[in-house]
Amino acid sequence: MTYTPQMKNKKIAKTVIKAKNPRGLQKRVRVKTRKKRSISSSRWLERQLNDPYVAAAKSEGYRSRAAFKLIQMNEDLKLFKPGQKVVDLGAAPGGWTQIAVELVKPGKTGGRVAAIDYLDMPQIDGAEFICLDFMDNSAPERLTQAIGGMADLVLSDMAPPTIGHKRTDHLRIMALAEAAYAFAREVLVPGGTFLSKVFMGGAGQDLLNQLKKDFTKVKHVKPHASRADSSEMYVVALGFRG
């Protein structure tokens, strides 16, 4: 495997390898349904216990398995560089923020990482966390102050709770993706990158058309760490025209 310069950090390099086959072959753990545990809860617990990315995240000290999604997308798309200014929307519990800090290296390069979520989370050294709903009117200004102006990379892993109705779920997450991009469009430097979670079906046509107009390259990606039965995917826009 070849690594990009920003992937030479030993911890990240090791994590990328684990992300490809994070736990290897192990005996599957089965969870029995108890009187105080519903069938759905038992299935969720069994999936967690048998998810190799959950185990790898715990082993590597990442706050969530989502860290591996960003690691894999970065390996393919070269999203991060030391010294960047990065905004992480919908950050809790902090897996993506941890990766951003490791790759941007704020303490050594002058880069900055700002994270926001309405759910509280413990601070991460090297990042400024804002406990606030991104849809609050004060959020954009507080984020730009946290990074000291313009951003090189805006990440959004925001997603509303799903209700199981595909059309409604898609509309709700697209509303968040569009709000994230409305912010990104105001703060990205020329050449900057925008990455946002969407659901199966991809970005809505209006957003997709706008991204294609504003960026040199737009694509949909589904990292290996995304569960096969999950409808989530990501839209990535590279080379902001400004």
pLDDT per position as a tens digit, 214-231: 999 999 999 998 877 777
More confident residue, 182 or 224: 182
Domain with CATH 3.40.50.150 in the chain: 67-240
**Biggest alpha carbon distance in the chain?**
58
Share of the chain above pLDDT 70, in %: 77
Range 200-204, long-range pairs (CB < 8 A, 24+ positions): 200/170, 200/231, 200/232, 200/233, 201/170, 202/233, 202/235, 203/174, 203/177, 203/235, 204/174, 204/177, 204/178
* pLDDT at res. 55: 82
Mean pLDDT on 188-209: 88
Give yes or no for a contact between 60 and 88, defined as CB atoms under 8 angstroms apart. no
3-class secondary structure, 178: helix
Q: To which H or E segment does residue 210 belong?
A: helix 205-214
Mean pLDDT on 88-93: 98
For residues 1 and 112, give the distance between their C-alpha atoms in angstroms, rounded to a whole number.
29
More confident residue, 42 or 166: 166
- Asked whether residue 17 carries a pLDDT value surpassing 70, the answer given is no
Which residue(s) pair with 156 in the sheet? 89, 196
Q: Which of 10, 35, 197, 213 is catalytic?
A: 197
Q: If pLDDT is split at 50, 70 and 90, which confidence band does 100 have?
A: very high
* pLDDT at res. 78: 96
Q: pLDDT tens digits, residue range 21-76?
A: 444 434 444 444 555 555 555 454 445 445 678 888 888 899 999 999 999 999 99
Range 199-203, long-range pairs (CB < 8 A, 24+ positions): 199/166, 199/169, 199/170, 199/173, 199/231, 199/232, 199/233, 200/170, 200/231, 200/232, 200/233, 201/170, 202/233, 202/235, 203/174, 203/177, 203/235
Mean pLDDT of the chain: 83
Torsion 8-12-18-20 (CA) sign? negative
Closest-CA residue to 232 (of 185, 182, 162): 162
Q: If pLDDT is split at 50, 70 and 90, which confidence band does 6 have?
A: very low
User: CATH for 67-240?
Assistant: 3.40.50.150
Q: pLDDT tens digits, residue range 101-128?
A: 999 999 999 999 999 999 999 999 999 9
Mean pLDDT on 185-209: 89
Catalytic annotation on 213?
no
* pLDDT at res. 171: 83
For residues 10 and 13, give the distance between their C-alpha atoms in angstroms, rounded to a whole number.
5
Mean pLDDT on 96-103: 98
* pLDDT at res. 42: 46
Q: If pLDDT is split at 50, 70 and 90, which confidence band does 205 have?
A: confident
Closest-CA residue to 221 (of 204, 198, 242, 193): 198
More confident residue, 187 or 201: 187
Torsion 224-164-57-42 (CA) sign? negative
- Asked whether residue 9 carries a pLDDT value surpassing 50, the answer given is no
Q: If pLDDT is split at 50, 70 and 90, which confidence band does 10 have?
A: very low
* pLDDT at res. 208: 93
* pLDDT at res. 229: 72
- Whether the bond between 106 and the residue before it is cis, its omega within 30 degrees of 0, is no
Amino acid code (one letter) for 226: S
